[in-house]
Every structure is written in C-alpha cells, then in structure tokens.
C-alpha cells in the first residue's frame, strides 16, 4: 500500500505518500465523512447488518468462501466414537472447511460426526442440507458462549479467519467455551489465521492487518502474540504449520500440559 517502508524488525519509516497526507480539496473532504459516518458504523455493526439483508449476507459468504484449506494426523489418531464429534468448525458459516475435511478423507465411516457452528441467523440462511456431505451437522451456536453438549469432546475444534476480528479480551471469551469442552490429551485446537513474521510480511498480510484494524478494531498477530494469547487461555502451542504459497498458517494447540 506504500504507506511505510520496513527498515528492520519493528522498525519503519515514512514513504513520500505518507509524508503528504493529501489535499482536502481533492478527496479529503468527501472521504473523511464517508469513513466516519458510513464505513465505521457499518463495520462495528457488521453481524446485525448482514442478518438484516439476505442479499448482502450472501455476498459476504461468497467472499469468505473465496479464502480457505488443511488435515491427516488428526484423523489417523482419532477415536471415532460416534457419541463425540470428530471435528467442530466454530463460526464455520457454509461449512466449506468441514466438507473439505471429509472430501480429503472419503474412507471415514458414515457415522462420523462433523459439526458446523454459527449464529442462528447464519445457519437459517444457508442452502439446503443436501448441498453438504450428510455427515455434516449444522448447529446454531454463539461462539462467545459455552459449547453445546453436541460439541463436547471433539477431536478438533477449528477456527478459520475468526479471531482476527476480535481483541485479545474477546478472543479469551471465545477460547473459554472451547477449552471447557475439550478432552484432555485428545482434543486439539486448530486456528487457521495469518501469523505475521518478525520481518518481511507479505503485502497481503500487512494489508489484511490494516483492514482488520480499520474495519472492526481487529488485528493480525505475530507468533509471539499467538503464543501469549493461547497461553493466557490455558493452551500450549504444539506446532505452527505453514504451507508455501498460503498467507495463512494453522496453529495446532492443546490444553496446557497435554501438548
């Protein structure tokens, strides 16, 4: 975005663009009121805004569908007890990640339980169940509250592009419900998010960080940030999985003392 130039770890300098904030007569007078009066209220109230307009909600879901993908060791060592779910996609919207998991592992038994959780307004607005693998069960659930009974004891709890919307304090509330539902020594927490490197972050990573900050006071986090946040929530990081060409990583975590 040409706003800053990286000169070292946590060290930056202004560019000619940022040293010249712009001519109010050219665009500032129209841009500033738009940002304050329209863009900011929209982002702060985004869930309510999407729930009130099905067409806009569908467009937003399309955006989220365009970004995703990951699994195998978790499945290989899973106890396929049908009384417990294998995989819980927390805030999973259309369930694309859950369906991808099953697509990558077609040998999983038909009784395998995979849950997709999201707000009631999202679940009720999704396409018919026939468009998903029949093993995917949709659950209306607010992830800021404790896990429902159906979601307890899963092999994996998955959060994809969820926590960058939320502050550390709110993320701890989200983690609390998952933490209480996990089975010690068995359940894993998987977080698919940007992990900012100390230096050399890609333009997509940094742009996303600025977008999340301006849109909903969110942020992309460094590895140090993630380890601190997860430690405060009662988790240990097992491994951070990276894939060439992907701007997101998968953070594998377990209950503290069981990594």
Give the catalytic positions in this structure: 164
- 3-state SS string over the chain? CCCEEEEECCEEEECHHHHCCCCHHHHHHHHHHHHHHHHHHHHHCHHHHHHHCHHHHHHHHHHHHCCCCCCCHHHHCCCCCCCCCCEEEECCCCCHHHHHHHHHCCCCCCCCCEEEEECHHHHCCCCCHHHCCCCEEEEECCCCCCCCHHHCCCCEEEEECCHHHCCHHHHHHHHHHHHHHCCCCCCEEEEEECEECCCCCCHHHHHHHHHHHHHHCCCCEEHHHHHHHHHHCCEEEEEEECCCCCCCEEEEEEECCCC
For residue 19, CA distances in Å to 23, 39, 56, 166 come to 12, 25, 37, 31
């Amino acid at each position: 975005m040409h706003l800053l130039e990286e000169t070292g770890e946590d060290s930056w300098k202004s560019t000619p663009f940022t040293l010249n904030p712009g001519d109010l007569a050219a665009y500032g007078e129209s841009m500033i009121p738009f940002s304050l009066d329209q863009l900011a209220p929209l982002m702060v109230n985004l869930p309510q805004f999407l729930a009130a307009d099905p067409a806009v909600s569908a467009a937003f879901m399309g955006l989220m569908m365009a970004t995703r993908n990951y699994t195998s060791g978790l499945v290989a060592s899973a106890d396929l007890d049908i009384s417990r779910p294998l995989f819980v996609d927390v805030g999973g919207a259309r369930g694309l990640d859950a369906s991808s998991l099953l697509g990558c592992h077609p040998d999983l038994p038909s009784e395998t339980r995979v849950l997709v959780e999201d707000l009631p307004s999202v679940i009720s607005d999704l396409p018919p169940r026939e468009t998903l693998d029949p093993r995917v069960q949709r659950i209306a659930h607010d992830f800021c509250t404790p896990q429902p009974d159906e979601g307890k004891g899963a092999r994996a709890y998955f959060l994809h592009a969820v926590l960058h919307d939320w502050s550390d304090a709110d993320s701890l509330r989200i983690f609390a419900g998952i933490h209480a539902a996990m089975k010690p020594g068995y359940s894993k927490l998987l977080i698919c998010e940007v992990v900012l490197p100390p230096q050399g972050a890609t333009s997509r990573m940094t742009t996303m960080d600025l977008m999340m900050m301006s849109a909903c006071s969110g942020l992309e986090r460094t590895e140090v940030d993630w380890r601190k946040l997860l430690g405060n929530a009662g988790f240990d990081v097992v491994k951070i999985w990276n894939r060439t060409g992907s701007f997101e990583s998968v953070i594998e975590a377990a209950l503290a003392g069981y990594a």
